[in-house]
Structure 1
Amino acid sequence: MALRGPKVWLWRWRRNPLRRRADRVEAWVVLGVWLLTVLVGVLAGTAVSRSVEDGLARERDEWRPLVARLAERAPGTASEDAPESRAEHVWATARWTSADGSEHSGQLRVPAGSAAGAPVTVWTDAEGRQVTRPVTEPQARVRASLIGGVAGLCAAVVPVVAGRALRGRLERRRIDQWDAEWARFGPMWGRTAG
């Protein structure tokens, strides 16, 4: 690893008689890597975000609520004194008929102690299979933005890693060149003109 002095911004772009060809190449590599990193990150993040948002919009359009009936009495006892809370809900089997007339059944969260035959809402896809409630538009935007941001960051890592590897190779090559020059000119330092 090369010894490094204090960091000077944009030193590879400044005019300097000691600047070598390798320094100019490294400057262009660094610039190219940063531009490619931003471009890849933005494009990947935007594409994934749009894809997620489109998928969630399609779910909102296709998934529909149906009325299902409990196949059996829900376990537990209903509490009339306390207001309904999530803790007072239990899993129970319900049956429903999809739009095409096929019969389906599944487990739903219902208030404890609900009677057999009580109506409950179930969300289904186009084939009548049970699905979760679709997310709202604001929730979809937030979810798509988060997933797109993570995808963009992950995609941006690729050019950064490739750039670091390329810069490491350039630095090893530069050190090898310095070693060769030192081997050629180093012994001359001991000579004096006379």
Structure 2
Amino acid sequence: MASPGSWTRLDRLRRRAGFDNSPLRRDVDRRQWMLGLALLMLFLSLAPPLGLRAGQAVYASGVRAERHEAANRRRVDATVVEVKGQRHRSEVTVTWSGADGTRRTGSYTTWREATVGGRRTVWADSSAVSDVAPRPHARTVGDAVAGGVGAALVLGLPLLLVYVLARYRFDRRRYRLWDAEWARWDPQNIA
């Protein structure tokens, strides 16, 4: 059972969110609350399916890339024969023995330090060589989650912009009403 203090906090949150019949609330306050609630409901009804759909598409693409790389790239131990480039980025040329025993040569760009004659573990396919391992499943899952969340955020930003612009207009209207009330009750205007 919840403590009395938690009910008080919950009731305070309910009133702060506008779920009360306070006589101090003006029509402009109620309209702003209704617009905010409508935009929130719109977001909550559209964001989950959109995020799920985007996440599924990214996941399917990632799984295809995983399978392609796993089928075509294989790990080989290579020897560095040439290093060209700057300190933080260099083009490395390596040689290795292919599956059929033929000598192969390939080049790739890396940020890792390489020395001529050193041994490297690289991944090669029929057209290229790289020091980047094939795509892991964890990256696919992470990309899918990021894609789903990103799609929901892309949906939410225009809705938030609409609310912010409406809030600005509601505030201007509210300030004009307050100024009119103050002018009405100003003691200098009472004759």
TM-score (normalizing by structure 2): 0.57
Query: 2:174 is matched by which residue type in structure 1?
Result: R
The counterpart of 1:10, out of the listed 11, 15, 18, is 15
Cα-to-partner distance string for 1:64-112 (whole Å, 9 max, x where unaligned): 1268897xx6249xxxxxxxxxxxxx93245999xxxxx9953388996
Question: Which stretches in structure 2 are left out of the alignment for 5+ residues?
Answer: 1-11, 83-90, 99-103
1:45 and 1:151 in contact (8 A); partners too: yes
Q: How many Å separate the matches in 1 of 2:143 and 2:13?
A: 41
For the pair shown, the structure with the greater C-alpha radius of gyration is: 1
Structure number with higher helix proportion: 2
Deviation at 1:16, TM superposition (A): 3.2
Deviation at 1:164, TM superposition (A): 2.0
- Alignment match, 1:32: 38
Q: Which has the higher contact order (CA 8 A, sep 6+)?
A: 1
Distance 1:75 1:42, change over 3 A: same
Q: Which moved more, 1:19-28 or 1:42-51?
A: 42-51
Question: Which stretches in structure 1 are left out of the alignment for 5+ residues?
Answer: 1-6, 77-89, 98-102
The residue matched to 1:107 in structure 2 has which SS? Answer: strand
The residue matched to 1:170 in structure 2 has which SS? Answer: helix
Distance 1:108 1:30, change over 3 A: closer
Query: 1:173 is matched by which residue type in structure 2?
Result: R
TM-score (normalizing by structure 1): 0.56
- Alignment match, 1:122: 124
Deviation at 1:139, TM superposition (A): 3.4
How many residues align? The count is: 159
The counterpart of 2:73, out of the listed 65, 79, 83, is 65
Q: How many Å separate the matches in 1 of 2:158 and 2:166?
A: 12
Between the aligned residues of both structures, percent identity stands at 20
Q: How many Å separate the matches in 2 of 1:114 and 1:155?
A: 51
1:41 and 1:152 in contact (8 A); partners too: yes
Q: How many Å separate the matches in 1 of 2:109 and 2:124?
A: 8
- Alignment match, 1:92: 93
